[in-house]
Structure 1
Amino acid sequence: MKDIATPDGYAGLDFPWDEPPAEGEVIEVAEGVLWARLPLPMALDHVNVYFLREADGWTMVDTGFDTRRTRTILDRLRAGPLGGDPITRVFVTHHHPDHIGLAGWLQAEGAELLTTRTAWLMARMLILDEQPVPPPETQEFCRRWGMDPGVLAQRSKERPFNFADMVAPLPVGFTRIAEGDLVDLGGRRWRVARGDGHAAEHAVLFEESGDLVLGGDQLLPGISPNLGLYPTERNADPVGDWMAACTRLAPLARDDQLVLPGHKTPYRGLPTRLASLHQNHVTALNRLEAHLAEPRTGGACFAPLFKRQVTQEMYGLAFFEAIAHLQHLHLTGRALRETRDDGVWIFRAA
């Protein structure tokens, strides 16, 4: 997640709960819907998970990383607030490891996995793609976009983040959900909408004839999720995809809906938040375009995007976010790209 320089991401929102549930405990946010948190070993130190009461057990929404600590906490939740009943279904909003990490473990116990085709394929492919060091094509991608040479040299010798480190193996087979589908979870009917930008084909569920929204990372309060450009799809436009998704989801949003996000706390005021999530990137792009009055590499574009100093631990997310914004300006004709003698790209305002 990024700490991008934006207006107050909480403005105009209503938060029914002042505090999140303690570790191993839950808060009932609606009849038969429980909110819990699982820890993450990073600056954003938690992921929200939700449990929806079924006739024969529970549906779990997102799962956290696959770690010994997370499995232990989930076992405590099952023995305690879940009343010893099984998790029979797992709905995963998108393929990122803090959301799909334990899905395969739960499938091995008999749970059904529901997610989008892109989410399942991406997660399964990345689990199998274990890398001891970044491959040459990744290093060249980062070099060409202007990663700091010292950072690149260090990263080239280190094991990168691997899905296999935090995501349980996914068995063959899942239940596909797609945009426009109606699915029944927890005694409620939900319409599937599609997010994009942060994760391809990110599923957002809107309760039919109700006021709940399962928002994952597409609808976070306070922060905007990371929109990164990566060597897996080097011609992508995640920022453009994100803004298009905000526009696409806006007609489904109402002020009375209770949004259950993947991080932070549940809130109401979704129309306001969607407008803010879109506008945050409009203004960020405008600042970046002004920054390109002088030619810059991707690694020299942090200042107009981030409101605090980028530390070493945050450098990777910041770099891929910055070049995603440069990519959007380039693809939309607002920035020109040239190649230096050393092969590194430099950008200037058109």
Structure 2
Amino acid sequence: MKSLRRPYSEQRTTDLGGGVWSVPVPIPANPLGYTLVYAIESPSGPVLVDAGWNHPDAWLALRDGLASAGMDIREVRGVVVTHFHPDHAGLAGQVRQESGAWIAMHEADAALIRNMHDLEEGVQRDLRAGMLRRAGAGAVEVEEVTAHRQRPPALPDRTLHDGDLIDLPGRKLRTVWTPGHTPGHVCLHLEDADRLFTGDHVLPSITPHIGIYPYDRTDTDPLGDFLASLEKVAELGMLEALPAHEWIFQDTAARARVIGTHHEEKLTQLAALLAEAGEPLTIWEIAARMTWNRPWEDLPSMLRGMAAGEAAAHLRTLEARGAIRRSEGSEPVRFAVHS
């Protein structure tokens, strides 16, 4: 696919028609560059889809971007957060403080945020360190990855469920629960305009990170959830996609099926990698042998941690399908094909 991505410096607040605007909000020091925050007009004030990264530059971009569209940030009615990640939820609390707006989020991600607020920093660090050790990471990598901690976003006022209508007077905006990228990721179907705000679920040229945390969980299957969510979105038909990154595109269903095929191919490659290994491998060893956008040796520690999370998610799906098995009672945990 030919890239249509433009740097943040070339982005502008855009009238998309039908009472919908896009406002680019920068993500400092991140290759994604920006989050596209959407503002939907209503007689009682605009409702935002996502809010952007919690940073002074991002706040000014959001405030001034809305102003250029004729909207006052102090009149925002509500913020619907597609998922809890900081480039989406980070500024929601400041918008609420400024305007009194409600914040809405799916109940599964709201539960994660409550957990983040409740756990002390030292406890969180110890949990991450244990996860990394069970995956086979070395002592230096454990230290480097656990050194990073992000401040949790604001707790929502309202929790969403699949099929809920958003409090948006005069419009029909429906919650479509699409777990995978996070447990509570949602897309939002603007049914009166055949548009779908896709968050990070369906993006035009890249695929979202699908990881499992802790890496060795057996009670969930995020990639399996994601693949089912792609089918769910595809069944909505040829809607215009308004994603949180890159650019707006047509035919969400077609792109969702391409992404699903990509992950199925990755699962096939991973099963072949394990078969060729001839012995059980740790999650860290498997991640190091997989193909990423740059060599494993060149990945910073944080990206290695994310790569391991993605490897673990694919392993979990293969395990759930009965294609591979994990070693029982061993640490670090290891995986192999069925003999």
Q: CA deviation at 1:19?
A: 4.9
Conserved in 2, the CA contact under 8 Å of 1:131 and 1:162? no
Aligned to 1:306: 292
> Aligned with 1:196: secondary structure?
coil
Conserved in 1, the CA contact under 8 Å of 2:13 and 2:68? no
Aligned to 2:316: 327
Give the one of 240, 250, 255 matched to 1:268. 250
Give the one of 42, 52, 77 matched to 1:64. 52
Name the amino acid aligned to 1:60: L
Deviations 1:107-142 (A, max 9, x none): 223112222222223223324435258533322221
Q: Distance in 2 between matches of 1:87 and 1:137?
A: 38
> Aligned with 2:109: secondary structure?
helix
Deviations 1:142-200 (A, max 9, x none): 111222443124335x2x22234xx3x43xx6233321223353742123211011111
Calculate the TM-score normalised by the size of structure 1: 0.84
Gaps of 5+ in 1: 1-9
Change (3 A) 1:102 1:23: farther
1:122 matched to 2:105? The reply is no
1:280 matched to 2:280? The reply is no
Alignment of 1:233-248 (within 5 A): 234-235=217-218, 236-248=220-232
Aligned-CA RMSD value: 2.6
Conserved in 2, the CA contact under 8 Å of 1:24 and 1:77? no
Change (3 A) 1:23 1:105: farther
> Aligned with 2:112: secondary structure?
helix
> Aligned with 2:306: secondary structure?
helix
After TM superposition, the structure 1 stretch with the greater mean CA deviation from structure 2, 147-156 or 284-293, is 147-156
Identity %: 28
Gaps of 5+ in 2: none
Detail structure 1 runs of 4+ shifted over 6 Å in the superposition. Answer: none
> Aligned with 1:231: secondary structure?
coil
Calculate the TM-score normalised by the size of structure 2: 0.87
Aligned to 1:36: 23
Q: Distance in 1 between matches of 2:113 and 2:214?
A: 16
Change (3 A) 1:120 1:147: same
Aligned to 1:188: 171
Aligned to 1:152: 142
Conserved in 2, the CA contact under 8 Å of 1:88 and 1:112? yes
> Aligned with 2:172: secondary structure?
strand
Aligned to 2:90: 101
> Aligned with 1:95: secondary structure?
coil
After TM superposition, the structure 1 stretch with the greater mean CA deviation from structure 2, 320-329 or 174-183, is 174-183
Name the amino acid aligned to 2:310: E
Aligned to 1:51: 39
Q: Distance in 2 between matches of 1:196 and 1:190?
A: 18
Aligned to 1:211: 194
Name the amino acid aligned to 1:26: T
Aligned to 1:25: 12
**Higher RCO (CA 8 Å, separation ≥ 6 residues):** 1
Conserved in 2, the CA contact under 8 Å of 1:59 and 1:186? no
Aligned to 1:4: none
Aligned to 1:6: none
